[in-house]
Amino acid sequence: MKNHFLKKGLFYWAALLLLLSGAAWAAGGMDFSQSPEVSGTQEGAVRMPKQQERMALNYVNQPPLIPHSVDGYQINTNTNRCLQCHGVEHYRATGAPRISPTHFIDSEGKVLAGVAPRRYFCLQCHVPQTDASPIVDNTFTPSKGFGQ
């Protein structure tokens, strides 16, 4: 019986910690004001370029990589810096690729007027591209017809 209460207590503490950390994250948003660097490579830290050509995708439905720095970008529940260039109202004027129509479909398949909540935080899937060496060696090769 003692183990049951211990497990239940740990579960509630873990749930509370997760809830509080999520609330703190949502309130503060994601702040990318620090200089973006990739560390842990064989050559040391690698700075991401401000603008570069888009890298080829490696497999079907791969989220495109970001060909520019996201230094200073704010993405939180109130604002999304990415949409200022890639949103449907702005992409023509900025010349940026338009956000995919799939980003307007909610988890139940309903088409929304705005970006679906599960697609709003762009940097969950899209990451800045860099030519940094892999931190961990791997044998990945792109799908046929993709990559290089």
Would you list which residues are annotated within the binding site?
Answer: 68, 82, 85-86, 103, 122, 125-126
Radius of gyration of the chain (CA): 20
Report the 10 Å Cβ neighbour count for 94. 12
**Do the Cβ atoms of 18 and 10 come closer than 8 Å?**
no
d(CA 98, CA 89): 9
Q: Compute the CA torsion angle 4, 5, 10, 13 (nearest 10 deg).
A: 140
Residue linked to tokens 């209460």: 5
Specify binding-site residues for heme c: 68, 82, 85-86, 103, 122, 125-126
The token pair at 52 is 């570069």
